[in-house]
Chain A
Amino acid sequence: MFRKILRQNEAYVFLLILALSIVIGMRNPSFFSFENITGFLKSYSMIGIMSVGTLFVLILGGTDVSFTAIAQVVEYAVVVLIMKFGGNIFVAFFEAAILGIVLGLINGLVIHKFRVPIIIVTIATFNIYFGMLYVITKGKLINNIPQMFKDFGNILLFPQKSAIGGTYGLSLMPLIWLAALILGWIILRKTMIGRGIFAVGGNEIAAERIGIDTFAIKLFVFGFVGFLAGIAGVVHVAIVQSVVPNIIVGKELEVIAAVVIGGASIFGGRGTIFGTFLGVLLFAMLNNGLTLLRISSYWYSVTIGAIILIAITVSAYQRLQRAKTNVKVQIQE
């Protein structure tokens, strides 16, 4: 049983998180404070929500890079819509979901109908979505966003007074991340659509042969990615409380890296929600830890790169070892 756990990628990420938190916590005990933990969970909520979508695409057998552009477009569009026509936060989420799904479905449609690799299509749509945003808005910032976004972003559960006079507590944003994780888990584990995603990622021809509607599966996955990206866009504006039209794009590689660290295979068919959560958590802690240890944030990307490299090397080494001790011939005397 223990060996089986060790063989799974999640175990290594978990141990890494444990080791990292001990190291950071020893150097700066405030790492374990309620204020700090809720803080870094909040700031990584957007990435956490988008990571669930990325996991789905990786299981399906490809890499989507356009979701940050979708989140960016949706964020801008929803803020403008609310400013023009009004509406509460639920209206904002609803608009974000619809717009995100539409942009995601365009990806899915092109990918299935023309059988083009996912990464190629999404590089193209990334540029189209993001480029159109700049064409239309001319890159204008929105600083005076509607108050209700700010109010929503400032809701705190278990509020506490901090020593310097502010308040802190658990924001709703990590809870939306948690909801995305739970939703993702239910879909992957409990529904035929979820199993269909695994099946297509494992062997698409076999999936078609036994009668799985692969088109529907792909549309679902990319619609879901768009949906989550839309939600993530609103979460982002609630956190940063302004709209800068180029701040979400550029995060896509970090999200993909977190999901891959969490054990999802870039060759498709493999990946878990729990691993994805751990991957994002690792990145969040790392970023936060470096700040607490007063190490330049430039080291963040260096560290992330190093972790990815080590993770890939370890799993490749394991595979080589397994191949070597693989009994090809049972030698008889």
Chain B
Amino acid sequence: MQEFLRLKSIYKSFEGVRALKDVDFTINKGEIHGLVGENGSGKSTLIKIISGFLQPDSGKIYFEGKEVSHLAAGETTSWGVQVIYQDLSLFPNLTVAENIAYNEMLEKRRPFIDWKEIEHIAKTAMKKIKVDIDLAKLTEELPIGTQQLVAICRALTSDIRLLILDEPTASLTKKDINNLLGVMRDLQSKGISILFVSHKLNEIFDVAENITILRDGSTVGTFPSKSLTNDSLVELMTGKALTQVRHSQAQISSRITLEVRNFSKRYNFKDVSFNLKEGEILGIIGLIGSGRTELACAIYGISPPDSGELVVNGKPARIRSVQDAIAAGIAYVPENRLVEGLMQKQSVMDNLNAAIMKSLSHAGYIPYPKRLNQASLWINDLNIKVSHPMVPVQTLSGGNQQKVVLGKCLATRPKVLILDSPTVGIDIMAKASIHEMIRSLADEGISVILISDEIPEITNNCDRILLMHAGKIRAELDAAKIQPSDLERMMSQF
């Protein structure tokens, strides 16, 4: 295979902090190349150097075998390098056609625009990956999977030779992911190289021929994906062997804390019934669009169901609002912690205390030491890595932010804790520590509902598993008796 781009011993620092150290990277023509590494391992810095947004401090860059002394911004674009960022960088208020054609119109540097030309550019790009999207629609009206395709079409308007996809599947449904992987293979068959960055290792294994692993800003190496297994890849990424222990269910009592009876909500879910025992971890596995999050929001009173009953500790509970749910001892950690779970600009302390302000206060006043002590308690308990309780939450890493959300919920002393995809987008090590925390909470007698679409997360941590698909519960499984591969097979039937 012919080499397209090669980077040799790249160094890059930001204000004295070393982001990349002696990084080697090579991508061949027509190759799908996976790039993996934990958060902070230097993936985004490397992408920015390849795309010409950042200059390396030192190192050599070879383009088609020839050394280039200096990578100017925009120069890589002329070689046909395009990046699609995780947030897609689309214009929600513009039509599909305009979004796709914008780059090319901009490059033509003409003051006036021609709407027919825009349509033509968009159609040509869509033809390249054989998709058909309504060109007159505003992009914000499209589902996220289709928006992803719009972003790809936009990249295809130029003479593209290397497409960089940064976490493209993070918020896609299974069907959209398969579709996207298909598009990637299709582009590959046209001789286009693809650099694929993802946290989801199974997808990397699915399409990538070679995988480059970064750890702490250095390359661990580049390996053919056939030579790696999931476990060996994780070990190379983290530098530690990760032994996954299954949760034992000795502590579960027979007391039922929560019972959901015939929950139904139009356009959300239908006829859902289950119960939850004290100290039990109940897994709900289902993909985006299965109704799992909608169900959690209904139990927590964010969007109450149309019909159905809820029984908490043997007593019927009428939960029509979040306040009702908290009073009934139910806590919920949302999937999108950044939007729903945290006040990003406020301190760790205030976030941890947010749900219990009332019980901390005397006649509306909360003394500072009391707030500080209360928050420090959780910071210690959950091992949140923070220099001081007063720093804003937004400065914390993803895993630590997730712990803050968890702490905020636990402060209300809930009997039932609903966790919606608690480890999405966080590091493997942080993930393991959150799993451990969930188990110890269950050991203390808290009943946990763990919602996820990640099979090992469910099988390793849960006592019982509910399989949810298209708004209904399709199966109830004993976690001790099911193999991850069996669960995978069951899920793929839908």
Chain A positions within 8 Å of B, measured between CB atoms, are: 190-193, 195, 198-199, 201-203, 205-207, 209-212, 268-270, 325-333
Binds A, one of B19-27, B107-115, B212-220, B403-411: B107-115
CB < 8 Å neighbour of A190 from B74, B105, B112, B290:
B112
- CB-based contact B294/A192 at 8 Å: no
Q: Closest CB-CB distance, B50 to chain A, in whole Å?
A: 15
CB < 8 Å neighbour of B472 from A190, A268, A331:
A331
- CB-based contact A331/B111 at 8 Å: no
- CB-based contact A329/B90 at 8 Å: no
- CB-based contact A329/B289 at 8 Å: yes
- CB-based contact A328/B110 at 8 Å: no
Flag whether B102 is at the interface (Cβ < 8 A): yes
Question: With A326-B267, A331-B291, A331-B470 known to touch, is A210 a contact of B89 (CB < 8 Å)?
Answer: yes
Flag whether B62 is at the interface (Cβ < 8 A): no
Flag whether B323 is at the interface (Cβ < 8 A): no
B-side interface mostly = loop
Residues on A with beta carbons closer than 8 Å to the beta carbon of B470: 329-332
Flag whether B33 is at the interface (Cβ < 8 A): no
Total count of chain B residues near the partner, CB < 8 A: 30
Residues on A with beta carbons closer than 8 Å to the beta carbon of B471: 329-332
Chain B positions within 8 Å of A, measured between CB atoms, are: 74, 85, 87, 89-94, 98, 102-103, 105-106, 110-113, 267-270, 289-291, 294, 469-472
- CB-based contact B93/A198 at 8 Å: yes
- CB-based contact A328/B93 at 8 Å: no
Number of A-B contacts (CB under 8 A): 87
- CB-based contact B91/A328 at 8 Å: no
Task: Report the Cα distance A201→B93, complex, angstroms.
Answer: 8
- CB-based contact B112/A191 at 8 Å: yes
Shortest Cβ distance from B85 into A: residue: A209
CB < 8 Å neighbour of A210 from B103, B267, B472:
B103
Shortest Cβ distance from A205 into B: residue: B89
Task: Report the Cα distance A329→B105, complex, angstroms.
Answer: 38
Q: Closest CB-CB distance, A330 to chain B, in whole Å?
A: 6
Task: Report the Cα distance A333→B112, complex, angstroms.
Answer: 53
Shortest Cβ distance from A203 into B: residue: B91
Residues on A with beta carbons closer than 8 Å to the beta carbon of B90: 203, 206
4 closest A-B pairs by beta carbon, nearest first, are A331-B471, A269-B93, A206-B89, A202-B91
CB < 8 Å neighbour of A331 from B74, B106, B269:
B269
Task: Report the Cα distance A191→B108, complex, angstroms.
Answer: 13
Task: Report the Cα distance A199→B102, complex, angstroms.
Answer: 9
Task: Report the Cα distance A207→B105, complex, angstroms.
Answer: 13
Q: Closest CB-CB distance, B69 to chain A, in whole Å?
A: 23
Residues on A with beta carbons closer than 8 Å to the beta carbon of B291: 328-329, 331
12 extra A-B contacts, CB within 8 A, seeds A192-B110, A195-B94, A199-B91: A191-B111, A192-B111, A192-B112, A195-B105, A203-B92, A210-B89, A210-B106, A269-B93, A326-B267, A328-B291, A331-B267, A331-B472
CB < 8 Å neighbour of B105 from A192, A205, A268:
A192
Residues on A with beta carbons closer than 8 Å to the beta carbon of B289: 328-330
Q: Closest CB-CB distance, A329 to chain B, in whole Å?
A: 4
Shortest Cβ distance from A327 into B: residue: B267
Residues on B with beta carbons closer than 8 Å to the beta carbon of A203: 89-92
Residues on A with beta carbons closer than 8 Å to the beta carbon of B106: 192, 210-212
Shortest Cβ distance from A325 into B: residue: B267
